[in-house]
C-alpha cells in the first residue's frame, strides 16, 4: 500500500519518468545475445520483461484514465504469465518495447501532472474486491517499473526469479 499522504503530482511524474529512463537504459545495455536468456523455464527473459513493462504501462495508464473519468469503475485482472507465453512470438525488436514505453509514459505523465487533490481521491474496485485510488495507481506506475529494473539484473545474473521480480 502507498503511504496515506497525498503526493505532489509533479513529484509522482518525476519519479515515474526517472524509472522509465532507468529501465530503458538498463534494457538497452543488455547484449543482444543475452536478451532471451532465461535461467529456467519459469523465468522471464530481459526481452519478456521489456515487453511486459511496455504492455502493463499501457494498461495502467488506461486504468488511471478510467479511475479519473468514470464513477467507481471496476478494474479487470490479467494473467501476466499467459500474456507473456502467448505473445512471446510477437516480441521482436526490444527497441519497439522501449519506444512504446517512452511514448505511453509521456501520455501518462501528462495525466499525472493534471491531477488535483480531489482527483487523487477518486477510487474504483479491483475485480479481486479491494479498492484502488488514483493516488495509489499514479504512484504504482513508478514502483512497477523500478521492480523490473531489478528483475532484469537478477535474470542476467543467472538467478531464477519470479515473474514479478
Going by C-beta distance under 8 Å and a sequence separation of 6 or more, which residues neighbour residue 24? 98, 101, 102
* Residue 134 lies inside a defined structural domain of this protein: yes
Tell me the three state secondary structure of residue 71: coil
> What is the residue range of 105's domain?
9-156
The per-residue pLDDT for range 111-156, each reduced to its tens digit, is: 999 999 999 999 999 988 899 999 999 999 999 999 999 999 998 8
Q: Does 89 score more than 80 pLDDT?
A: no
Q: Which residues on adjacent β-strands are paired with residue 74?
A: 125
How far is the C-alpha of 22 from the C-alpha of 141, rounded, in Å?
Answer: 14
* Residue 161 lies inside a defined structural domain of this protein: no
* Residue 91 lies inside a defined structural domain of this protein: yes
- What would the mean pLDDT of 96-117 be, rounded to a whole number? 97
Band (41; pLDDT cuts 50, 70, 90): confident
* Residue 108 lies inside a defined structural domain of this protein: yes
* Residue 165 lies inside a defined structural domain of this protein: no
* Residue 136 lies inside a defined structural domain of this protein: yes
- Output the pLDDT for position 82: 87
- Mean pLDDT (the chain, rounded): 91
The per-residue pLDDT for range 18-32, each reduced to its tens digit, is: 999 999 999 999 999
- What would the mean pLDDT of 68-77 be, rounded to a whole number? 94
* Residue 162 lies inside a defined structural domain of this protein: no
Of 15-19, 60-64, 127-131, the range with the lowest mean pLDDT is: 127-131
- Output the pLDDT for position 165: 46
* Residue 35 lies inside a defined structural domain of this protein: yes
- Residue 27 class from Cβ within 10 Å (0-12 exposed, 13-18 middle, 19+ buried)? buried
Q: What is the pTM of this model?
A: 0.90
How far is the C-alpha of 35 from the C-alpha of 45, rounded, in Å?
Answer: 6
- Output the pLDDT for position 164: 47
Closest to 67 (Cα-Cα) out of 103, 10, 115: 115
How far is the C-alpha of 98 from the C-alpha of 21, rounded, in Å?
Answer: 10
154-161 long-range contacts (CB < 8 A, ≥24 apart) are 155/37, 155/38, 155/39, 155/43, 155/44, 155/45, 155/46, 155/49, 156/30, 156/34, 156/37, 156/46, 158/39, 159/39, 160/39, 160/40, 160/42, 160/43, 161/39, 161/43
* Domain total of the chain: 1
Please report, for the domain that includes residue 17, its CATH number. Answer: 1.20.120.450
Q: Does 2 score more than 80 pLDDT?
A: no
Q: Does 157 score more than 50 pLDDT?
A: yes
Amino acid at each position: 500500500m502507498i503511504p496515506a499522504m497525498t503526493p505532489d503530482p509533479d513529484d509522482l511524474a518525476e519519479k515515474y519518468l526517472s524509472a522509465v529512463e532507468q529501465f530503458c537504459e538498463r534494457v538497452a545495455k543488455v547484449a543482444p545475445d543475452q536478451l532471451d536468456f532465461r535461467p529456467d523455464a519459469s523465468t522471464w527473459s530481459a526481452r519478456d520483461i521489456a515487453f511486459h513493462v511496455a504492455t502493463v504501462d499501457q494498461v495502467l495508464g488506461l486504468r488511471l484514465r478510467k479511475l479519473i473519468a468514470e464513477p467507481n469503475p471496476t478494474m479487470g485482472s490479467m494473467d501476466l504469465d499467459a500474456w507473456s507465453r502467448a505473445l512471446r512470438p510477437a516480441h521482436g525488436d526490444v527497441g519497439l518495447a522501449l519506444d512504446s514505453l517512452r511514448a505511453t509514459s509521456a501520455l501518462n505523465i501528462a495525466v499525472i501532472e493534471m491531477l488535483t487533490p480531489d482527483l487523487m481521491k477518486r477510487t474504483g474496485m479491483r475485480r479481486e474486491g479491494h479498492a484502488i485510488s488514483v493516488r495509489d495507481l499514479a504512484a504504482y506506475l513508478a514502483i512497477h517499473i523500478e521492480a523490473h529494473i531489478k528483475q532484469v539484473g537478477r535474470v542476467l545474473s543467472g538467478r531464477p526469479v519470479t515473474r514479478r521480480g
